[in-house]
Chains A and B, each alone.
Chain A
Amino acid sequence: MNTNGNIYTVIYSTVLVILVAAILAFVAMSLQDKQNENVKIETITKVLTAAAQADESVTIDETTDVLKMYSEAITDAFYVNGDGAVGARMNMGKENVKDIQVPSTSDLKTQNDILKKIDGSKDEASKEELRKSLALPVFVFDINGRKVTVIPCYGAGLWGPVWGYIALAEDGKTIDGAIFDHKGETPGLGAKIAEPAFYLSFKGKAFGNGETVFAVEKGKHDDEPACVDAISGATITSQALGKGINLWAKSYQPYLQTLSVTAAADTCATALPEPAMSQTENGSNDL
Chain B
Amino acid sequence: MSDINYKEVLLKPIFKGNPVTVLVLGICSSLAVTVQLKGAFVMALSVIIVTGLSSFVVSIIRNSIPNRIRIIVQLVVVALMVILVDQFLKAYAYSISKTLSVYVGLIITNCIVMGRIEAYALGNRPIPSLLDGLANGAGYGLILIVVAFFRELLGSGTLFGYRIIPQSFYDAGYMDNGLVILPPMALILLGLIVWIQRSFQKDLQEK
* Chain A residues in the interface with B (C-beta under 8 A): 3-4, 8-9, 12-13, 16-17, 20, 23-24, 27-28, 31, 34-35, 38-39, 41-42, 62, 184
Contacts and interface: CB of A to CB of B under 8 A. Distances in A.
Contacts of A23: 80, 84
Interface string B49-92: 00000000000000111111100110011011001100110111
Given A17-B76, A24-B83, A24-B84, A31 B90 contact: yes
A31 B87 contact: yes
Interface residues of B, number: 25
Contact of B66 (A4, A24, A28): A4
Contacts of B95: 62
B170 interface: no
10 contacts: A3-B65, A9-B66, A12-B66, A13-B73, A20-B76, A20-B77, A23-B80, A31-B87, A31-B90, A35-B87
A38 B90 contact: yes
A131 B67 CA distance: 62
Interface of B: 63-69, 72-73, 76-77, 79-80, 83-84, 87-88, 90-92, 94-95, 101-102, 161
B91 A4 contact: no
A13 B90 contact: no
- Main secondary structure, interface of A, reads helix
A32 B63 CA distance: 36
Contact of B69 (A9, A24, A27): A9
State the 3 A-B residue pairs at the shortest beta-carbon distance, nearest first.
Answer: A38-B94, A34-B91, A31-B91
Contacts of B76: 16-17, 20
Given A23-B80, A24-B80, A34 B69 contact: no
Contact of A8 (B66, B87, B101, B161): B66
Contact of B87 (A28, A39, A62): A28
A35 B91 contact: yes
A12 B64 contact: yes
B73 A31 contact: no
A42 B65 CA distance: 44
A35 B69 contact: no
A160 to B, nearest CB: 12
A38 B90 CA distance: 8
A42 B94 CA distance: 9
A34 B92 contact: yes
Contacts of A41: 94
Nearest to A39: B94
Contacts of A39: 94
B90 A3 contact: no
Nearest to B65: A3
A184 B87 CA distance: 18
Contacts of A38: 90-91, 94
A28 B102 CA distance: 18
B23 to A, nearest CB: 27
Contacts of B63: 3
A27 B92 CA distance: 13
Given A9-B69, A39-B94, 6 more contacts: A3-B67, A12-B64, A23-B80, A31-B88, A35-B90, A184-B101
A8 B102 CA distance: 35
A62 B88 CA distance: 20
Contacts of A8: 66
Contacts of B90: 31, 35, 38
B66 A3 contact: yes
Contacts of B87: 27-28, 31, 35
B72 A4 contact: no
A24 to B, nearest CB: 6
A155 to B, nearest CB: 20
